Amino acid sequence: MTAKKPRIVVTRKLPDIIETRMMELFDAQLNLDDRPMTKAELIQAVAGADVLVPTITDRIDAAILSQAGSNLRLIANFGTGVDHIDLATARQRGITVTNTPNVLTEDTADMTLALILAVPRRLAEGERLMRAGTWTGWSPTAMLGHRIWGKRLGIVGMGRIGQAVARRAKAFGMQVHYHNRKRVHVDIEQELEATYWESLDQMLARMDIVTIHCPHTPGTFHLLSARRLKLLQPQAYVINCARGEIVDENALTRMLEKGELAGAALDVFEHEPACNPKLINLDNVVLLPHMGSATIEGRVDMGEKVIINIKTFVDGHSPPDRVLSSML
């Protein structure tokens, strides 16, 4: 007799190939219209599921977890970041949490480099000029930006993505600097020709471009606070493909409006999907709708990791991408 398939609830639309495989392996409830679940719907999901597959758009807090049924033993997150899940409450209730690390590194690093190029070279401004039909022809002094060759790049967070960005930046002739909770191995520093700064404040004051690649935790909320943003030079640029909460968005906006920073490129926002409306009107800002990891290949790889984590857990083994208590 066939063993009962675990009941899993998937909160958002995933790639067809992943959903098909989930239907084959599990008793899967899919979200076909891709509408974010309401709090009531999430409570209903955790009450009846063996496994929940949420995304960053779902806030799985203590109030929701308190309504979880006794069968819910795994939250297999579709994504690397888990700041939207109350890990402490999940652990207290004996619920394992997994994520999908490593598969989005290159995609996010590619997007970061694209933004590093886009802002100093004014690519978005030029594109808007063409679409508006107001370009009158080439001029020696028109649309002048800044080269990135030789500029100092300060990387905040030298994990996998930070290192991937550093490799690309080195190839573009940038001088790589970084701040991290722990200094990376000397071999990595030598490979990337990277300079380590124990003091984030000291690094920020000397960089031409700052890019953020650390996770959002209570300790990194507003890591780039109003005070720290003031340390940046007026000719500096800020790039954020990590999490919006890491930067004080209102303070950043005020400085950009006053010309106290040269520009910014943001793929994430402090109150997503809302964006500070004042940012939209600034020419020296590039804004993207959280698409740093948005490749077909990346999404499929994420889904495959979710399936492996669920299958391994259901088979009675520790899933490979278990989020450890050290992340709390």
The yes-or-no answer on residue 290 being catalytic is: yes
Let me know if 249 is a catalytic residue: no
Does residue 253 contact residue 230 with C-beta atoms inside 8 Å?
no
- CA distances (Å), 281 to each of 239, 248, 253, 259, 321, in order? 18, 18, 11, 14, 41
Nearest CA among 93, 217, 188, 199 for reference residue 156: 199
Catalytic (active site) residue 272: yes
CA distances from 308 to 181, 191, 234, 292, 323 (A): 31, 33, 48, 24, 14
Catalytic residue among 243, 245, 249, 299: 243
Which one is catalytic: 91, 222, 290, 322?
290
Task: Give the number of other Cβ atoms within 10 Å of residue 282's Cβ.
Answer: 15
Whether 96 and 75 have beta carbons less than 8 Å apart is answered as yes
Facing residues of 29 across strands? 9
Residues labelled catalytic: 243, 272, 290
